[in-house]
Amino acid sequence: MAVVMALQSAPIYRLQRTWAGLSKRDRTTFSNLKEFVSSNENWKRLRH
């Protein structure tokens, strides 16, 4: 969870060329991780 949160921090998130250089597979993996550690519905995914 800490890694995903760190990658979403402003200084890292602004690295547009770096993010653009990621493969589709890596972007999909990151998207899935973001969804998994999402705080939506009171951290529901992490509690199950």
pLDDT tens figures, 11-43: 887 888 888 999 999 999 999 988 888 776 666
How many C-beta atoms surround the C-beta of residue 33 within 10 A?
14
The pLDDT value given to residue 7: 83
Split into its structural domains, the chain has a count of 1
| Residue predicted with more confidence, 2 or 47 | 2
**Largest Cα–Cα separation, the chain:** 36
The pLDDT value given to residue 26: 95
Residues 38, 1 contacting (CB under 8 angstroms): no
The pLDDT value given to residue 38: 75
Q: Looking at the whole model, is its pTM more than 0.85?
A: no
Q: Alpha helix (H) ranges present in 1-48? A: 2-7, 10-13, 16-20, 24-36, 40-47
**Domain residues for 11?**
2-47
